[in-house]
Structure 1
């Protein structure tokens, strides 16, 4: 199954759970793509003692999950894309939605 996840929050527990679900899905041999939108583009920078978001992002990428970050949302925050979260567009999000069997929205 192809799963698309849209993260539109920087709330640590929600982002942590989204990536945990994504990694679990990858381990069950599903294809998973994440699109970071709005405050979600801040996911890579979340620091929280209880919810280690960076660890979950690392596991997700390690298991071949793909992450895309809204370029406009990054620009509004004076941020840049990264190797893990490259700059993407709404067209990229549309392709993820179109090709996915299931879409989950966190945030």
Structure 2
């Protein structure tokens, strides 16, 4: 099977690769932001719990940041999916380059026989 792509198809694949990379960067940034905000809210809730034991303060702080769990999980899932997509694109590009190199090698071999 020979894979032949025109310039437009190659550019479309490269643009998809760039867009996926930018989406991954944005998702990772959002993930880090959510984690930082969760830590900040935890510390804030812990410090605002006056007159309680450390364990009680920790429990209240954990409850106050529980809303971040679903958001962080969603971001992590998106990051994993985008990384898999980038890996798939990379594999397809490597396959295309290998196939094209093999075709060029065959053509060169055939022309040298003439």
TM-score by length of 1: 0.23
Q: Which has the higher strand share?
A: 1
Q: Which has the higher helix share?
A: 2
Larger Rg computed on CA atoms: 2
